[in-house]
Amino acid sequence: MIADYLANDAWPEDGKPISDELFAEVVLTRSPEKEMQPGPGGLPILVDRPGPTIEERRASAMLLLPAWEASERAAGIDHAGRRWLTTPEALQDIRDSLLAALVPGNQWIDANRNAVPMDLPGLQALWQACVSRGALIYQRRLQMEADIAAMTAEAMQAFVPGW
């Protein structure tokens, strides 16, 4: 090992030669949970890697929220005894029909792909339910952001977005 450094003229000024056994212990068999640091006499030792800081944990928790929100928004809604799609495409279809002030064929397709008789007031009521659900989702996201900002590191380890 030392010969490689010396042959390439790359030996650090403060470098100390170590045995092949110590090299194998601290370099070759090191796990991801450990890092190498100088120990007594400048020889390398393995120590536990420090856990993430509270700021890193907060950032990680915050990164979970957009996916949670998108999933909740696309999960569908129960309204008038049926399940309805709330994907971006489904919501755009509702908006387009409301802007045109017509319900094509006087029916709408529910989440189970059933044709359901629908008039314009019924579609407006479905839209209102979708908007209300979206507002609840956004309010919950804001609450989770506030909760994360106030959480301890231990609480953040257990954090899972949800209701």
**Where do the H-state alpha helices sit in 8-150?**
20-23, 54-74, 88-100, 120-150
Contact of 130 with 111, CB cutoff 8 Å: no
pLDDT, tens digit, 9 for 90 and up, residues 34-49: 888 888 888 888 898 8
Q: In the prediction, which pLDDT does 97 show?
A: 98
pLDDT band at 2 (very low <50, low <70, confident <90, very high): low
Which tens digit of pLDDT belongs to each residue from 111-125?
Answer: 999 999 999 999 999
